[in-house]
Copies of this chain bind each other. A is one copy, B any other.
């Protein structure tokens, strides 16, 4: 491919939460046109099947197995693009949410390789849809915190007092392995042990599992429910099917009846 030297490009693409049909139409089209797909470990085979003609390079960082250094992934993307390849760098969920995006953009920019970012459905959104809860709700929470249980230094520190406040709502990535730490920190900061926590394991995948727990019973409640990750913990939220709710339909107005009538 030496004759195409310099014509390469990289699309950094969100693969969505796992279900093959929860990636975007743009992501699907980019995969179909890709010559090489450089992907993370969590990207599902169902998604990779959209790129049947591409060479696939798994640069997943497995907890125990052989591991790619981030600098090597950066260098790989640059090498492939410089050789003229159409590269899709496929990241699970959305590239901008816990995706190590900056390192790769820096390397591509430094090498003068053109790139675009294609956003995706991040796991928290799929988890909430599966648990049938909204992440924000009028009169309940007008803000949402997105956080990670782990960062480069191990367990991640956060503004525990704010997270422990009544009504605080958070979507926690990489939280299952940090569940004991999260419970300890939040209770020490004054959180109510009966604060609901919804765990959604493998959101949107065939092996999806949703478990209702309370903060004070982490991590045991997750273990009992068979939640092992990759999971999202939704702090402050109960799965809809576990929560009591009001059921008082209000009378439709004339406008609603007319619009329905027009269709019927």
Which chain A residues have a beta carbon within 8 Å of chain B's beta carbons? 1, 14, 16-17, 19-26, 28-29, 35-36, 55, 57, 68-69, 71-76, 78-80, 83, 85, 94-102, 105-107, 109-111, 117-122, 125-126, 128-130, 132-139, 142-148, 151-152, 156, 158-159, 162, 165, 204, 240, 245-253, 255-257, 259-260, 262-264
Contacts and interface: CB of A to CB of B under 8 A. Distances in A.
A260 B36 CA distance: 10
A252 to B, nearest CB: 3
A250 B159 CA distance: 34
Contacts of A121: 14, 24, 94, 119-121
Given A14-B125, A97-B144, A119-B129, 9 more contacts: A14-B121, A73-B256, A75-B250, A75-B257, A80-B260, A83-B260, A142-B148, A143-B158, A144-B147
25 contacts: A1-B264, A19-B26, A22-B25, A22-B118, A25-B25, A36-B263, A55-B263, A71-B252, A72-B252, A72-B256, A75-B251, A75-B260, A76-B256, A79-B260, A80-B260, A95-B134, A97-B135, A100-B138, A102-B137, A106-B246, A117-B129, A119-B128, A122-B125, A138-B151, A146-B146
Nearest to A2: B264
**Lowest 5 A-B CB distances belong to which pairs?**
A75-B252, A79-B260, A143-B147, A21-B26, A110-B247
A159 B158 CA distance: 14
B24 A29 contact: no
Given A146-B144, A152-B139, A255-B72, A20 B25 contact: yes
Contacts of A122: 125
Contacts of A264: 1, 79-80, 83
Q: How many identical subunits does the complex contain?
A: 2
Contacts of A117: 128-130, 132
B133 A156 contact: no
Contacts of A78: 249
Contacts of A99: 134
